[in-house]
Homo-oligomer: A and B are copies of this chain.
């Protein structure tokens, strides 16, 4: 592998990279950066100024806009992205972990952009991807989360840092829900399934939809059969898995990847997940957990948890969802891009001829 290329990794600026607590895209961007640096790549991370990396840090935004509410998110993201675009010439490849904006300006720079599509924040942004589909390279984070009109180079699953997740050979006593408190994530279904199985449930995560929390979750919290512990950082999450008999991931919407399922399995915790989106790519049904269609099936699956060998859960993550696996995946993608040697269509306005023609009075 030719590791003398200069890579720019673009992380969001909602949170620090890596984030102190919640911040899925920033987590993955950090793992990609640190994984590449560990293998000898020259990586510059574009992120908030308080970010932490073993690579080079390039920052024009002091703090994440979710951590400093005096900031205007639109101003911050535009300044962050334009800073990278201005410095594009210093890199052989831009690895974009942001949303669609860098793509819209991709024809203005000579450097190829690889975009990991961590999710379409809305269907309306697909128009940008489609317009610029031939001006960039794309990676999906699961086979199921693909737009049929985009030319993907590969699926590269998110990788987690296994050194931060302790393997727990013995099951805990509670079911656990871990994730954003939002209807999409099916917290209310986890409550229902736990009740049907007659087991306790611990709910952890940031409240993203307060009305949903107030009406569908809070009424069930009694401090015993259903406990709510709020957001957890990496260390608290690691402790939480000690108490976990299984993780309930009864998502209402198709999952794009499902980092939390991989994290649970890394701790040896089996996962019971709705068979929607990427869940069947992450959970090995019958071996590291169960895929279900409703809460009755979820309750029945809870009874079958003793059949799972928790070491199989850990092994599956080591094989498929580790930073190492992810970085190997990206190295293969980078190699394809560099080997292609088919230069992207030259930027529209940056050709020397265009420069001359455009500015008869400025020479």
Interface locus among A98-106, A169-177, A230-238: A98-106
A347 within 8 Å of B by Cβ?
yes
A90 within 8 Å of B by Cβ?
yes
* Beta-carbon contact of B128 and A78 below 8 Å: yes
* Beta-carbon contact of A86 and B110 below 8 Å: no
Q: List 6 A-B contacts (CB under 8 A).
A: A72-B122, A82-B107, A92-B360, A108-B108, A110-B349, A343-B363
* Beta-carbon contact of B89 and A128 below 8 Å: no
Shortest CB distance A84–B (Å):
10
* Beta-carbon contact of A75 and B127 below 8 Å: yes
Shortest CB distance A110–B (Å):
5
Shortest CB distance A250–B (Å):
30
Number of copies: 2
Per-residue B-contact encoding for A298-322, CB less than 8 Å = 1, 0 else: 0000000000000000000000000
In the docked arrangement, what's the CA distance between A91 and B354, Å? Answer: 10
A109 within 8 Å of B by Cβ?
yes
Residues of chain B within 8 A (CB-CB) of A72 are 122, 124-125
Cβ-defined partner of A82 (8 Å) among B104, B124, B338: B104
* Beta-carbon contact of B92 and A108 below 8 Å: no
Per-residue B-contact encoding for A76-95, CB less than 8 Å = 1, 0 else: 00110010011111111000
* Beta-carbon contact of A355 and B350 below 8 Å: yes
* Beta-carbon contact of B341 and A89 below 8 Å: no
Cβ-defined partner of A86 (8 Å) among B111, B128, B338, B348: B348
In the docked arrangement, what's the CA distance between A354 and B91, Å? Answer: 10
* Beta-carbon contact of B349 and A86 below 8 Å: yes
Residues of chain B within 8 A (CB-CB) of A253 are none
Shortest CB distance A107–B (Å):
5
Cβ-defined partner of A354 (8 Å) among B89, B104, B344, B354: B89
Cβ-defined partner of A89 (8 Å) among B104, B110, B358: B358
Shortest CB distance A261–B (Å):
30
Per-residue B-contact encoding for A223-263, CB less than 8 Å = 1, 0 else: 00000000000000000000000000000000000000000
Residues of chain B within 8 A (CB-CB) of A86 are 107-108, 348-349
* Beta-carbon contact of A349 and B78 below 8 Å: no
In the docked arrangement, what's the CA distance between A362 and B122, Å? Answer: 34
* Beta-carbon contact of A358 and B105 below 8 Å: no
Interface centre among A82, A101, A127, A357 (most CB of B within 10 A): A82
In the docked arrangement, what's the CA distance between A347 and B110, Å? Answer: 12
Considering the complex, give the chain B residue whose CB is closest to the CB of A2.
Answer: B361
Per-residue B-contact encoding for A328-363, CB less than 8 Å = 1, 0 else: 000000000010010110011111101101111111
Assuming the contacts A90-B358, A355-B89, asked whether A79 and B127 have C-beta atoms less than 8 A apart, the reply is: yes
Considering the complex, give the chain B residue whose CB is closest to the CB of A358.
Answer: B89
A20 within 8 Å of B by Cβ?
no
A131 within 8 Å of B by Cβ?
yes
* Beta-carbon contact of B124 and A71 below 8 Å: yes
Residues of chain B within 8 A (CB-CB) of A359 are 92, 110-111, 343
Residues of chain B within 8 A (CB-CB) of A338 are 361
* Beta-carbon contact of A79 and B110 below 8 Å: no
Residues of chain B within 8 A (CB-CB) of A74 are 74
In the docked arrangement, what's the CA distance between A363 and B100, Å? Answer: 28
